[in-house]
Structure 1
Amino acid sequence: MQCRLCGSDRMLSVLDLGATPPCEKILTPEELDLPECNYPLHLRLCEECLLLQIPALVTPEETFTEYAYYSSYADSWVEHARRFVDEATTTLGLGGDSLIVEVASNDGYLLQHAVKAGIPCLGIEPSVNVGDAARARGVPTVTAFLDEDTAHRIRREHGPADLVVANNVYAHVPDIIGFTAALRTLMDDDGWLSIEVHHALQLIGLGQFDTIYHEHFQYYTLFSAIAALATGGLTVVDAKLIDTHGGSIRIWARPAAAGRHPSPRIAEILAAEQQAGLHDIDGYLDFAPRAEGTRRAVLHYLLDCRSRGKTVVGYGAPGKGNTLLNYCGIRTDLLSYTVDRNPYKHGRFTPGMRIPILDPAQIDHDRPDVVLALPWNLEPELTEQLRHIKNWGGELVFPLPTLHAAAL
C-alpha cells in the first residue's frame, strides 16, 4: 500500500479490524442465503505525511449510487446544519445574489435552510435515492460524483460559489488530490470552503474504532488536512473543534491568493494534536490495545446479560454499528434485533452479522431489559428519545467511548 497523499510506501499498521462487508450494504431477506463480499479493514499511518488511511478496496460508486443513510433522521444533525447556515450567512454576508454549493448534500438536511433563507444553492449528491429526497424538499440537486469535470460543468452552468460546504465527505474519496482540485474549481477566487470531518484527535484519543469502515478512506488531523488542502491551492484560515460524530473538526479554507490572517485557533488545535503525540508515530501505538479492550468489555457485558436471561436489542443501524458488530462478532444470540428510524432499512439485515432491522415501535412492544445504542455519538438525543424505557425497568447502554449506562 502506498500513501494516497504523498505516495510513500512507509505505512505503519495502526489497527487491523479483520475483514468485513461494506457497512452500508444492508441485506434484503432474499440475500440472506447468498454470499457476502468481505474486504480487509486495516488502518495504517503514513510515516511521511502522517495521514491515517485504509486501502481503497470498495469504490465510492459501489457505496453511494444507492445509499442507506439519510441525514435528516438525526434531529440533532439537522439542527447543527441550521445553526451552521445561520452563522455562515451572517459571517460571510450571504444573500439573494450569493451561491452555496454543498458536496455530498444527502437528503437536503443542510441546504433546506438556505432555501428557506432565500439564498441560491445547489446540492451535488451521487446517491439517486437520497437526492430524490432532497429535491422533494425543494433543494436543487445534481446527481453526480464530484470530480474535476463535474466541477467545471457546474461552475459554467451556475457560476462560482461564494461558499462550498463539504460535510463528512472529505474522508469518503480515495482521490484526495483530484477531489481537492474539484473543490477549488467550484469556488469563487474570493470564496470560502467549509469542511467538517471526524477528528483523529478523538478517534485515537478515545478509541473510537467503530468510526473506521470502508467508505471512510482516510482520517484527518488538522495537520494532515492542511497538507491535503494545499495540493489544491487552498489555505486553511480557521478551524474549530465541534462535537458532532463523537468529535469532529470544522475547517475553513480559502484560495491561497485570497489571503487572510490565520485564526489563532489553528495553532491551538495543532498544539493539542502534537501534545497527544499525533504529529509522530508514537501517539498511534495505543489505539489497537484500546480497541481490543473495548471489544472484550462489550462482549463480557452481553454474555453476562445472556447468562442472566436478559433480553438485549439494539437501537440504530449506522455504519459505525456494523464495524462494532462485526469486530466483536455480535450475532442474534447476543442482540436479538436492532431498530432504526429510517424506513428504508426496515425488514432488512445488518451486513455480516445479519441482525434484523425493525421499526423503533418494536422496542415499546417487546419491552427489552437492555437497549444497546449503536450510534453512541448521539447520546443526548437518544437518551431523550428512549427515556421512557425506564418505566419498565429498561436500561440504555452505550458501548463507546467506554461501556456505560445512560442516566434515564
Structure 2
Amino acid sequence: MDIALQAGSSAAPACRCCGAPLRETFAELGLTPLANSYVAPADAARMEPFYPLHALVCSDCRLVQLAEFESPQAIFSEYRYFSSVSEAWLRHAETYSDRMVARFGLNAGTPVVEVASNDGYLLQYFAQRGIPVLGIDPAANVARFAIARGIPTEVAFFSAATAMRLRAAHPQPMLMVANNVLAHVPDLHDFVEGFRILLAPGGVATFEFPHLLRLMQHAEFDTIYHEHFSYISLFVAERIFAQHGLTVFDLEELPTHGGSLRLFVRHAEDAAKAVTPAVEAMRVLERQSGLEGPEAYRGFAEQVVETKAALLEFLLQARRAGRRVVGYGAPAKGTTLLNYCGVGPELLPFTVDRSPHKQGLLLPGTRIPIRAPEAIVEARPDYVLILAWNLREEVAAQMSIIREWGGRFVVPIPRVVIF
C-alpha cells in the first residue's frame, strides 16, 4: 500500500532512522486519541482530538514507527504516569540497581544519571547507597515528586544540547539509564547523540524498551500508541547507536511490558568491554525470525484482527449471558485496545486504577470511568479484564478477593485467557 497516495500527499513520510520514504503498513489501528489524555467528567461533552494510529515499517532499515502528530512537549510536559505506583516495577528497579552496583563497582565517586527518571522510582535505590544521582524528565508535575524525595531532577527533554549543558555543570556519569524512553523520542539521532556526549569515558549506558520481536510474536498491538514513536529491534538499535560512536556490548531479555530488551552500550573505543555472545545470539534470532526482510511485518496485521475479534466475542457473550465485566488498570495500552475494538461503557462499565492521579477521570475516547480498586469489591463482577496485562500476576494477587464470589480474571493479549 502506498501511504503517500492514501494520505492524499505527493510524498511519503521519511523514516526517522535512515530517511527513506515510508510506504509499508505494519498495523492500521484507525483513529485514537492520545493514550494518556484522560478526560475530566466536566469535559465529557467536549470534543477531543483523534489521530491516525497507523504504524509503518521502513523498507530499508526496518524501523517500525508512527508519524509525529503531536509534539513531545504536548504529550509529556504534564504526565499522569507515576512509576512508583506499581510494586512490581519498584522491585524491578531495585533489582536493577543492585546488579549494576555489583557489576560495575559503582560508589560515591561514580555518578548515575537517568533519562526519563519519572518520580525517582529507580534513582532512589542508588541514592540510598550514597551514589550521586541526577534525574532528567520533561514532566514538571512528576519531577516535583522526585525532588520531594531527595532526587535532584532536571526538568528537560534530553537531547544533544541538554547533554552539552549538563556536561558543563555536572561530573560525567559512569552509568546512564534509559528505561522505556528510547521509543518515546521522535528524533532518535539527537537523543542518542546526547548519550555519546554525556557518558563518561569507560562508562555504560543501559536502554530498556519493548522488543519488537516479542510485540510481533505475541500480537501486542495495544503497545502501539502515539507516545511510542518507534518500535525497536536489536537490528535497528545497533544501526542507530553505531552512527553515534556507541556499541552494544551485552543484552538481556526481560519479561517486562510483554517482553523487553535491556541493552548495555559503551563508547565504541572502549575495547575493555568485549561484545558478549548474547548479542550475537539475538542477532541470529531476529534474522531467523525475519526481521531483516518484509514478510514477517506483513503478517502482523492479521494477528491484530484476530485478537480484536476474540475480545469482542468474549465481551458480547458475557453480556448476553448476563455476566458483568469490569476493567483493571487505566494504562496507555488500554486506550489503544478499547478504542480499536470499539469497547465502551456498554460492555465495560468502569475500570479501576491504583493511581490517585487517574481516579475520577474518564478513559480517552471511550469515556469509560476510572475508579479506585475498591469499586470492584462493591460491584462484585463476574470477570475482571486486566487492561494492564503486563502486570497480570501483581493484579491477580492484589485483587484475589474476587475469588470469594467466584469472580475470574481475563487478559486480552496475546489472546483472550480466562483464569
Q: Same fold (TM over 0.5)?
A: yes
TM-score (ref. length: structure 2): 0.96
Correspondent of 2:261 among 240, 249, 274: 249
Which of 93, 97, 100 is equivalent to 1:88? 100
- Partners in 1 of 2:418 and 2:149 — Cα distance? 37
- Distance (Å, rounded) in 1 between the aligned partners of 2:277 and 2:385: 40
Query: Deviation of residue 219 (structure 1)?
Result: 0.5
State the 1:256 CA deviation. Answer: 0.9
Residue number in structure 2 paired with 1:25: 37
Distance 2:392 2:287 in 1: 29
- Which consecutive aligned stretches of 4+ in structure 1 deviate over 6 angstroms post-superposition? none
Q: Match for residue 47 of structure 1? A: 59
For residue 86 of structure 1, what is the amino acid of its counterpart?
D
Q: Which runs of 5+ in 1 are unaligned?
A: none
Greater CA drift, 310-319 or 275-284: 275-284
2:25–2:298 contact (8 Å) kept in structure 1: no
Tell me if 1:381 matches 2:394.
yes
* Corresponding position of 2:27: 15
1:5 is matched with 17
Q: What corresponds to 2:170 in structure 1?
A: 158
Question: 1:399 maps to which residue?
Answer: 412
* 1:334 counterpart = 2:354: no
AA at the equivalent of 2:27: L
**Which whole-Å CA distance do the structure 1 matches of 2:184 and 2:94 have between them?**
23
Deviations 1:334-353 (A, max 9, x none): 00000000001111000000
Distance in 2 between residues matched to 1:378 and 1:202, nearest whole Å: 16
Kindly indicate whether the alpha-carbon contact (under 8 Å) linking 1:168 and 1:195 is maintained by their aligned counterparts in 2.
yes
Q: Following TM superposition, by how much is the alpha carbon of 1:10 offset from its aligned partner in structure 2, in angstroms?
A: 4.3
Q: Give 1:285 deviation, angstroms.
A: 1.6
- Matched ranges for 1:346-385 at <5 A: 346-385=359-398
Q: How many Å separate the matches in 1 of 2:389 and 2:219?
A: 13
Structure 2: state its 5+ residue gaps: 1-12
C-alpha deviation, 1:281, in angstroms: 1.0
CA distance in 2, matches of 1:271, 1:384: 37
Aligned residues: 406
Residue from 173, 180, 188 that aligns with 2:200: 188
Separation of aligned partners in 1, 2:395 and 2:42: 31
**Which residue number corresponds to residue 228 of structure 1?**
240
- Give the residue type in structure 2 aligned to 1:92: F
Q: Tell me which amino acid in the other structure corresponds to 1:310.
A: R
Amino acid at match of 1:34: R
Cα distance per residue 1:160-219 (max 9 Å; x no partner): 110010000000000001011012112012111100000011111111000000010001
List aligned pairs for 1:279-298, cutoff 5 A: 279-298=292-311
Q: CA deviation at 1:398?
A: 0.6
Conserved 8 A contact 1:3-1:11: no
TM-score, with length taken from structure 1: 0.98
Q: Does 1:313 align with 2:326?
A: yes
CA contact (8 A) 2:114 2:123 kept: yes
1 CA distance for matches of 2:22 and 2:356? 44
What is the root-mean-square deviation of aligned Cα atoms in Å? 0.9
TM-superposed CA distance for 1:231, in Å, is 2.1
**In 1, Cα distance between the equivalents of 2:299 and 2:218?**
11
